[in-house]
Structure 1
Amino acid sequence: MNYENILATSENGIATITINRPTKLNALNKATIEELHTAFDTLDKDHSVRVIILTGSGDKAFVAGADISEFANFSVSEGAELAAKGQSSLFDFVENLKTPVIAAVNGFALGGGLELAMACHFRIASDNAKMGLPEVSLGVIPGYGGTQRLPQLVGKGKAMELIMTAGMLTAEEAKASGLVNHVVPQSELVELATTLAQKIMKNSPVAIGMAIEAINANFKDGIDGYAVEIKNFGDAFGTEDFKEGTGAFLEKRKPVFIGK
């Protein structure tokens, strides 16, 4: 499929989505959010795709934020609709994908860009990356899940400080706070993302999807994460991957998972 604002490729089970608006530092506008939803939805339904890597074009920015020109004159109701639609169609959607998504943060990840990275299942960063939620400096607050996901990842106090000061973390500070898992030189970022994806691909896709659902359940109001874990653990026993995985272990061979 051809896109105007993103690039999507797939090779050897690893798909890469690149936000491709370099003249705008890959800022998110409505069209880009819609294209990202379509790309993630399409790849998640493609059983040949085992891992998705999300990154930005160029060497300056993953996503430098939302496209402020699109909503500078919005009313109260329009602002609320913007946040609700964005969360539903992209940010919550990515978080709940069964296919693992790695954010490869190459440069600035600010505002909606950091919110998008946080919606991914985990994050790695180049050593020149800087991350923050500067929305209060514009008289608004994070609207794509930032006030919820940042405290989950770095703790309430640190999130309060970052949001209230509109400050930025360096890549190493982000790693120290638990916001990203690894920091490497920018030239090694794609290589690391690919290495991690290949490690993930050795394991059962259906089990990974069940694990994602169970982990996410812990952070959702009104849902007992332990109950979801118990159900998904039991359901795993009925999969072909379980039979393959246990059989391979007992037969002392490498498993060949099919994701069923």
Structure 2
Amino acid sequence: MGEPNTILHAVRVSLRMSQDELAQAIREDGREHGEPNYCAKRNVQRWESGDVRMPRKIYIRSLERVTGLPIEALGFATPVFGTRAAAQAPANGQESARGEVVEMGATSAPGGAVPMTKHNDHGTLSGIWLSRYEYHSSGRGADFTGEHFVVVIQHRNKLTVRSLPEASSNPDSPLTMDLTVDGNVVTGSWREETAGDGYYAGAVYHGALQLLLEPTGRKMTGKWVGFGKDFDVNTGPWELTFKDASTSKAAMDRYNHRP
């Protein structure tokens, strides 16, 4: 068995889908786009357990459309081939045309990288957090606050952050963050897609983020940076406050509302 794909698990959890529901959504997407597939719960189980390190292309396209994220952001390994001949065969841990799996060595890591072993000193940061940032709207001449209840999944020193579907102060504005923990310093990127019928008319904003993790491990505070509509660089405060250690469906249901 390979290393579990906790990022894909986090994305599925943030979509409030079971493994069977994700498989069904992938099948329906394939039919809608003229690329029928036979994705089943077992496929999703293999992807999340790490038994399959890279799905077949027909699944990749539907996975990207269903989750709204590129395959590189879904925690799968990037196949690395040493020779042209090797490129004709599935990579270790990749599904073959018949759905078979080529086993991956225990020392392998996504992208061929050396596995990172450094952990932070606060235990796991997985759970449900309240994300809160402040920004200035030049068009409206005022300061505003954006809030989301988010699901945080930690795997080693990586944090995958995804907002719950209905848990935004600005309706239909999903937020994602991909962060790295180094001691008390948390650094990474953020992305938010604004509501199509809102003031920003579906515009997508993204940028960098640096936070300091408090000694309790229950709050992160820092600054965001990103580009405005005129390509000027903006910044402002951002904080994440711990709410619940559980990422169960019941816990997510409790927080799946506007903050």
Whether the TM-score (by the shorter chain) exceeds 0.5 is: no
More strand by share: 2
* TM-score, scaled to structure 1: 0.26
TM-score by length of 2: 0.26
